[in-house]
Amino acid sequence: MFTAFGVKIPTAADALRAAVLCVVVSLGTVAASERLNWPVRTGPALNGHVADADAQGLPTRWSEAPASNIAWKLELEGFGHSAPVIGHGRIWVTSATKDGKQQFVYCVDQATGKILQHMLLFENPEPEPLMNDVNTYASPSCALEDDAVYVHFGTYGTAKLNPATLEILWQRRDINCRHFRGPGSSPILWKDLLLLTFDGIDMQFITALNKHTGETVWRTDRTTDYGDLDENGQPKQEGDLRKAYSTPNVIEVNGHAQVVSVGSRAAFAYDVETGEELWTIRHDDFNASSPPMFFENHAIINTGSRGSNLLSVRLDDSTRGDVSESHVVWNRDKGNSDLSAPLLIGDRIFSILNNGVINCVDVRTGEEIWKDRVEGTFTASPITANGVIYFCNEAGDCYVVKAADTYELISHNHLDEGMRASPAAADGHVFFRTFTHLYAIGQ
């Protein structure tokens, strides 16, 4: 045992026998189903959509003062922007000390908000400074299966845990890059593979691990021409223009699965089984953080932050090599989201910019249908259910907006703390991870 944040925390060796102190305000309980509700950062279908079974009764209004529709509220120690992942009545989030020297995983009871386990997973003697106050050392979200939880901290380590016992089944601490501003990309699962992206300032690559053993199945370096070398042949700004934070996504094109991944200055598709690069799209942006979306036979790509492009790429048997000039159906060069990922709902794309501008775009043409504005700074990605969208800002405001061809604000709700973590949903409840707490919102 050791002490962190004034609380005795179990290490991996004694996690099974340790008692953990927690602070939880419980106003009720949440009915929890025995299935995977929200297994990865982007939800059960990797697109931010709440499954129908979980959407029934999902609230659109809540309040902290006076308390309304808040089932429970749990104080979390440490810092982190990882989104909750949920399954079999348990919620998983990660956290870290502010200096990044200790990284933890939480397991929380979905029904009551009580901490079941709070385990120190990795220690880092000299983590690289974040260089800003936006990111944390616990921003990637976990990936969850019935019999496993995969915990990822970027270059600092990846581990597979038994969700019932928290036994470490395997871990990797040798897959590294210099994140420079901290890690951000989350893992996804495809069949027997755990897919991870590493877009640092020194090296940029995507890799697939055998989810059973943790062994590397393939690793493919980015082939990007960054165009950022100075007169001495060194990357400008220490390579800052090379980093990215996007989580990949998988699509099948004519029966062949490919993983699409957005990096700095280019987006790529790889054969998911071998890692062979299939096609690439060049772009001018960096700091990409949005996962790609798919509509019919097209990939919809948000290229970065600070003036990113949103573009549609046609996918067929001819989509091979550099298709920047041949397969881009449309390219929207302004008014696109920055850090918050767009949502594809039917044939409409809904986005929110950092400054609160919401827009609705036709996915077939890239043409804007409407735009409006709400207050605040937005970095968390939205989710959708029952024809509405949940947009949450860094001040604790959540705007519930109708997913329609005209702007309609359903409700404006407020929590005491803001968030950069994306929300999750399960069993008729929305779960928010704010800067200080984990909330269960529901009737």
Report the distance separating Cα 19 and Cα 15, nearest Å: 8
Which candidate, 132, 188, 193, 122, places its Cα nearest to that of 155? Answer: 122
**Complete DSSP assignment for 359-421:** EEEETTT--EEEEEE-SS---SPPEEETTEEEEE-TTSEEEEEE-SSS--EEEEEE-SS--SS
**Complete DSSP assignment for 36-82:** EEE-STTTTTTSSBPPHHHHTT--S--EETTEESEEEEEE--SB--P
**How do residues 36-45 score in pLDDT, each as one tens digit?**
999 999 999 9
Q: What is the pLDDT of residue 304?
A: 86
**Complete DSSP assignment for 154-171:** GGG-EEEE-TTT--EEEE
**How do residues 363-393 score in pLDDT, each as one tens digit?**
999 999 999 999 999 999 999 999 999 999 9
Which candidate, 401, 393, 390, 391, places its Cα nearest to that of 417? Answer: 393
Phi, psi torsion values for 154, nearest 5 degrees: 65, -135
Which candidate, 379, 390, 380, 388, places its Cα nearest to that of 422? Answer: 380
Report the distance separating Cα 157 and Cα 123, nearest Å: 10
- Mean pLDDT across the chain: 93
For 200-295, strand residue ranges (E) read 204-210, 216-221, 249-253, 256-262, 266-271, 277-282, 293-295
Report the distance separating Cα 334 and Cα 170, nearest Å: 44
| List of domains in the chain | 36-441 (2.130.10.10)
Contact 125, 169 (CB under 8 A): no
* Mean pLDDT (whole number) for 406-427: 98
Q: What is the pLDDT of residue 34?
A: 84
Q: Give 2: exposed, middle or buried? Use CB within 10 Å, 0-12, 13-18, 19+.
A: exposed
Which candidate, 38, 306, 81, 313, places its Cα nearest to that of 185? Answer: 81
Give the model's confidence band at 9: pLDDT under 50 very low, under 70 low, under 90 confident, else very high.
very low
Tokens of 18: 């340790």
pLDDT at 344 over 50: yes
* Mean pLDDT (whole number) for 223-241: 92
Give the model's confidence band at 25: pLDDT under 50 very low, under 70 low, under 90 confident, else very high.
low
Q: Give 240: exposed, middle or buried? Use CB within 10 Å, 0-12, 13-18, 19+.
A: middle
Q: What is the pLDDT of residue 306?
A: 72
What is the percentage of the chain residues whose pLDDT exceeds 90? 89
Peptide bond into 66 cis (omega under 30): yes
Burial letters 93-128, b for 16+ CB under 10 A, else e: bbbbbeebbbbbbbbbbbbbbebbbbbbbbebeebb
Report the distance separating Cα 229 and Cα 237, nearest Å: 9
Q: What is the pLDDT of residue 384?
A: 99
**How do residues 151-206 score in pLDDT, each as one tens digit?**
999 999 999 999 999 999 999 999 999 999 999 999 999 999 999 999 999 999 99
Q: Give the SS3 label for residue 240.
A: helix
Give the model's confidence band at 1: pLDDT under 50 very low, under 70 low, under 90 confident, else very high.
very low
Residues in the chain: 443
Report the distance separating Cα 260 and Cα 88, nearest Å: 29
* Mean pLDDT (whole number) for 61-89: 97
Q: Give the SS3 label for residue 206.
A: strand
